[in-house]
A and B are shown apart, each in its own frame.
Chain A
Amino acid sequence: MAGNPSNSPLYVYGVVPSKGTTGPAGAGIDDRPVQLVAHGEVAALTSSVADDFLEAGRQELLTHSRVLEEAMDRSAVLPMRFGVVMPDEQTIRDRLLDPYAEELEGQLREVEGKVEVSIRGIYDEATILREALAENRELAELRDSIQGKPEAATYYERIRLGEMVAQTLDDKRAAAGPEVIERLSAHAVDVRVGEPVHERMAVNGSFLVERKRLGEFDRAVEEIGAEQAGRIRIKYTGPLPPHSFVQLGVGA
């Protein structure tokens, strides 16, 4: 807990347990020191904000992420959403730490010893298109009928063709996505399934994994990666603080 009560606005990175947490290390946004604002069992990770103005761009988002990752190495941490600034220490206690104390303590216990891993699968375009052509006669015929003709003359046919490809991708995604999620869920405590971020995304899931089972989870990912080699490229991001698994109040 920092000694000097701050009346300046504070950027809030996240919430950690106030006990057993060694003081924050490293600098926060604008190179300002990260300090704890403690209240009972929970404490906010903060740093002061100059005046009433904070430009929140790429650099600040990087710092937000780094501060939370550093905190994750020392204790359980509940990440705040990027961009939260509160007027002063007292407001942090009155509006965050005190009214939500029980929830925060409960969630800190839940994420203790666990990390988030994001798994995204991206279809290899050429492979998946070849599959689609081989599996869908109608698609192949339409493609053959368009090929060699001028673009202007086949505008609507090409849209139709692309639409069929998109539909095929949707179908494949509907089959592959849940299977990957289910297999990896077996090695995780919790999972959040996300929407595909672009049209070639086969699967997008965030998993809450116990640190001690991380090796086991990783092997399951490797296995899927090997099975899908050349077809779905798996992107593994983590371990991260549990950004996707924290929530305050109902529907917060």
Chain B
Amino acid sequence: MATGMQQPYRGGSGYVARSSSSGLYDVLELILDKGLVIDVFVRVSLIGIEILTIDARIVIASVDTYLRFAEAVNRLDLMSTETQGLPELMEGITEGGASKKTKGIVQGAKEALFGDEDEEEEGEEEKEPATTRRRSTSTTAKRRQAASGSSSGSSRRRKKSS
């Protein structure tokens, strides 16, 4: 049934964005920390996934967010049709200290895991500074290398959780 509904759906109104394909970022993020688990299970080492699951708790109440909102409000009159987020405003805002750094790491992990699919979020995720991008790119590269079997010495070994 699911496979029969994987084409993009446009409801009669077109007001609801629908997806069911498991390739989508939304689905991956949704299932990441869900499902049955028993503590005796061995869990594999996951690239940034343990970090990623705390994504929901970060930066919702941070100086960065406040400054971004303030910019958005100040710009409101200047915006006529632009209604999406304002990622460009993040550039040049370097304050924020630890929270900013944390976000960078989490976003880096997310990008490594989800790759280009992030772009489907349509500006819901802020663009990160170049340093983060470089970092995540190298992580992705390493993963691909490992996946192709050329990196058995990778430090991301399976961990036993007890």
Give A residues with C-beta under 8 Å from B.
9, 12, 14-15, 52-59, 61-62, 64-66, 69-70, 72-73, 78-87, 95-96, 100, 115, 118, 120, 122, 124-127, 129-130, 132-133, 139, 143, 146-147, 158-163, 165-166, 194-200, 206, 211, 218, 221-222, 225-226, 228-229, 233-240, 243-244, 246-249, 252
Q: Which residues of B contact A72 (CB under 8 A)?
A: 1-2
**Complex Cα gap A252–B70 (Å):** 41
Are B113 and A159 in touch, CB under 8 angstroms?
Answer: no
Given contacts A129-B76, A158-B67, A166-B65, contact A225 B16 (CB under 8 A): yes
Complex interface bits, B21-65 against A, C-beta within 8 A gives 1, otherwise 0: 011101111111111111111111111010000011101110101
Are B11 and A59 in touch, CB under 8 angstroms?
Answer: no
Chain A residue nearest to B1 (CB atoms) is: A73
**Complex Cα gap A64–B157 (Å):** 19
Are B124 and A122 in touch, CB under 8 angstroms?
Answer: yes
Smallest CB separation, A152 vs chain B (Å): 11
Chain B residue nearest to A247 (CB atoms) is: B36
Q: A162-B65, A237-B19 are in contact. List 13 more A-B contacts (CB 8 A).
A: A14-B35, A52-B158, A54-B44, A72-B1, A79-B34, A80-B37, A82-B32, A125-B84, A197-B56, A199-B69, A226-B13, A234-B16, A236-B16
Given contacts A158-B70, A218-B11, contact A53 B37 (CB under 8 A): no
A–B complex contacts, Cβ < 8 Å, 10 sampled: A57-B47, A58-B115, A78-B36, A85-B41, A86-B42, A159-B67, A218-B11, A236-B9, A237-B27, A246-B36
Chain A residue nearest to B29 (CB atoms) is: A197
Interface size on B, residues (CB 8 A): 78
Q: Which residues of A contact B19 (CB under 8 A)?
A: 235-237
Are A59 and B22 in touch, CB under 8 angstroms?
Answer: no
Are B69 and A166 in touch, CB under 8 angstroms?
Answer: yes
Given contacts A79-B35, A85-B44, A236-B18, contact A73 B2 (CB under 8 A): yes
Smallest CB separation, A148 vs chain B (Å): 9
**Complex Cα gap A129–B45 (Å):** 42
Chain B stretch 3-22: residues in CB contact (< 8 A) with chain A? 3, 5, 9, 11-13, 15-20, 22
Given contacts A57-B112, A66-B22, A86-B42, contact A166 B11 (CB under 8 A): no
Chain B stretch 119-138: residues in CB contact (< 8 A) with chain A? 124-125
Please tell me if B156 contacts chain A, counting CB pairs below 8 Å. Answer: yes
Are A239 and B17 in touch, CB under 8 angstroms?
Answer: no
- 8 Å CB contact of A56 from B40, B49, B67, B74: B49
Q: Among A55, A79, A84, A226, which residue has the most Cβ atoms of chain B within 10 A?
A: A55
Are B27 and A129 in touch, CB under 8 angstroms?
Answer: no
Are A83 and B46 in touch, CB under 8 angstroms?
Answer: yes
Q: Among B40, B124, B152, which residue has the most Cβ atoms of chain A within 10 A?
A: B124
Are B154 and A55 in touch, CB under 8 angstroms?
Answer: yes
Please tell me if B98 contacts chain A, counting CB pairs below 8 Å. Answer: no
Smallest CB separation, A49 vs chain B (Å): 8
Given contacts A222-B16, A239-B1, contact A162 B69 (CB under 8 A): yes
Q: Which residues of A contact B44 (CB under 8 A)?
A: 54-56, 83, 85
Are B56 and A249 in touch, CB under 8 angstroms?
Answer: no
Chain B residue nearest to A122 (CB atoms) is: B124
Please tell me if B72 contacts chain A, counting CB pairs below 8 Å. Answer: yes
Complex interface bits, B93-115 against A, C-beta within 8 A gives 1, otherwise 0: 00000000000000000001111
Given contacts A200-B124, A236-B18, contact A165 B35 (CB under 8 A): no
Complex interface bits, B134-162 against A, C-beta within 8 A gives 1, otherwise 0: 00000000010011000010101110000
Given contacts A85-B44, A225-B15, contact A55 B146 (CB under 8 A): yes
Are A84 and B56 in touch, CB under 8 angstroms?
Answer: no
